A and B are shown apart, each in its own frame.
Chain A
Amino acid sequence: NAGVTQTPKFRILKIGQSMTLQCAQDMNHNYMYWYRQDPGMGLKLIYYSVGAGITDKGEVPNGYNVSRSTTEDFPLRLELAAPSQTSVYFCASSPREGVWNTEAFFGQGTRLTVV
């Protein structure tokens, strides 16, 4: 029972480099999310998706892009990495049924450092 799987767990990037954070879920959830967690700031929503082919911006989308070609996968792309993108990134998913009162399921996180 894998749930939400994120890769990699850790990554160090140089300023200006690009990378893709992978997220996959095996629960057939329609809703998927990307959050970033900065110390003392809680979690901020970067992008979300309500189904394959549909994505939308959250609170802090600048510097990121997403795609949702399948129900299972929701990769997050960082272009031209900046030190301000140093953070812990969490992917999450929720089922469509009862979505208003159903919790989100989280991956283990990716700790990214931009130097």
Chain B
Amino acid sequence: GDSVTQMEGPVTLSEEAFLTINCTYTATGYPSLFWYVQYPGEGLQLLLKATKADDKGSNKGFEATYRKETTSFHLEKGSVQVSDSAVYFCALKGIETSGSRLTFGEGTQLTVNP
């Protein structure tokens, strides 16, 4: 079945540092890939997505590229801010998955210190 693996956390960075959160997946065919963000005490919000190989999703300075050859969708940001502190989830929608449901990774807690 479909699965998503994220880098182990938590991750602690200083403001303006470079961020990478690794995400790899297992799925049949060409799934759609998503990054969601969860701020403290809130629900999940879509951060960015990519629906085909080599697509790059971007939003709020975050980027991720859909790499079919390495089955990866790593999240990057060039300069993080304190306000980026949150939990980040990588997720996929498999083309053959009934109900078109999302499969999530474990989540990565990011803390950015001033």
Q: Do A and B bind each other?
A: yes
Complex-state Cα separation, A99 to B98, whole angstroms = 11
Q: Using an 8 Å CB-CB cutoff, how does the interface string of A71-115 with B read, 1 for contact, 0 for none?
A: 000000000000000000010101000011101101111000000
Q: Is the CB of B44 within 8 A of A106?
A: yes
Complex-state Cα separation, A43 to B18, whole angstroms = 27
Q: Is the CB of A42 within 8 A of B44?
A: no
Whether A52 sits at the interface, judged by CB under 8 Å, is: no
Q: Is the CB of A42 within 8 A of B105?
A: yes
Within 8 A of A (CB), among B37-59: 42-46, 49, 51
Q: Is the CB of B49 within 8 A of A100?
A: no
Complex-state Cα separation, A109 to B87, whole angstroms = 15
Q: Is the CB of B104 within 8 A of A56?
A: no
Q: Is the CB of A42 within 8 A of B93?
A: no
| Residues on the B chain within 8 Å of A94, using CB | 100
Report the number of A-B residue pairs with Cβ-Cβ less than 8 Å. Answer: 58
| Residues on the B chain within 8 Å of A41, using CB | 106
Complex-state Cα separation, A31 to B95, whole angstroms = 15
Complex-state Cα separation, A109 to B102, whole angstroms = 17
Q: Is the CB of B107 within 8 A of A90?
A: no
Q: Using an 8 Å CB-CB cutoff, how does the interface string of A1-30 with B read, 1 for contact, 0 for none?
A: 000100000000000000000000000000
Q: Give residues in B with beta carbon < 8 Å to A.
A: 4, 32, 34, 36, 42-46, 49, 51, 89, 93, 95, 98-102, 104-107
Q: Give residues in A with beta carbon < 8 Å to B.
A: 4, 31, 33, 35, 40-43, 45, 48-50, 56, 58, 90, 92, 94, 99-101, 103-104, 106-109
30 A-B pairs with CB atoms under 8 Å apart are: A31-B100, A33-B102, A35-B104, A40-B106, A40-B107, A42-B4, A42-B89, A42-B104, A43-B44, A43-B104, A45-B102, A48-B99, A48-B101, A50-B99, A50-B100, A56-B98, A92-B102, A94-B100, A100-B93, A100-B95, A101-B32, A101-B49, A101-B93, A103-B34, A103-B46, A103-B49, A106-B36, A106-B43, A106-B45, A107-B43
